[in-house]
Amino acid sequence: RHARLRDAVQDASRERDALMSLARTDPLTGLPNRRGLDAALGAALPHAQADRLLAVFMLDLDGFKPVNDQHGHAVGDRLLVAVGDRLLVAVAQRLRAHLRHADLIARLGGDEFVVMAQQLPSVMQAHDLGIALQESFLTPFYVQGVEIRVGLTIGYALAPDDACDACTLIRLADAAMYSGKQRGKFCVRRNKGDLALASS
């Protein structure tokens, strides 16, 4: 009886953990979603210091929306969706390949991703990371035998320099990304707080 009760408790615990994981995970890419990102930022922000910066990068794909229209006419609606979905999975894989193991990538929905990078010793290193992510998209993607080119517009903010809470960091990074979209796309912009009004 005790063994059965112990097994039941373990099963319930595993099921609870699985449900919590699903609630924090994007089902398409397997990346953390907004809840997962918030949890990671909450754990990491208390450790951010002037010589151990935390960067939040907001990434939006340039040229994603026309992908299905350009490459799916002859194969029907079902494959149209698959092309876009597979491209997003490939984007997640490429981002992961250009980041350190400790860095986190999240997908907020659509073609919008967030990168959280910790323990950065300088502002320059944060900017260089943004440039490296952007330049990694100069190489085309190949999805179902089709060459697809998309770019990245990136906005970012730093803790503790620009803000110390997750909500403000994300808002600042989003405003910088949006500003970059308005000014020609395919750029990397930091928001120290001066671009905050651009998103309102």
Q: pLDDT at position 45, please? A: 97
Measured distance CA(170)–CA(168) in Å, rounded? 5
Contact 170, 58 (CB under 8 A): yes
- Per-residue confidence of the chain (200 residues) as pLDDT tens digits? 677 777 776 766 666 544 455 577 998 899 999 999 999 999 999 999 999 999 999 999 998 888 766 665 444 444 445 778 889 999 999 999 999 989 999 999 889 999 999 999 999 999 999 999 999 999 999 988 888 999 999 999 999 999 999 999 999 999 999 999 998 899 999 999 887 554 43
In b/e form, how buried is each residue of 143-174, taking b as 16+ CB within 10 angstroms?
A: beeeebebbbbbbbbbbebbbeebebbbbbbb
Q: pLDDT at position 159, please? A: 97
Q: pLDDT at position 16, please? A: 55
Q: pLDDT at position 109, please? A: 86
Which residue in the list 26, 60, 111, 162 is annotated as catalytic? 111
Q: pLDDT at position 73, please? A: 44
Mark whether 111 is an active-site residue: yes
Q: pLDDT at position 13, please? A: 62
Q: pLDDT at position 125, please? A: 96
| Contacts of 26 by beta carbon, 8 Å cutoff, 6+ apart | 32, 33, 106, 107
Cis peptide before 160 (omega within 30 of 0): yes
pTM: 0.83
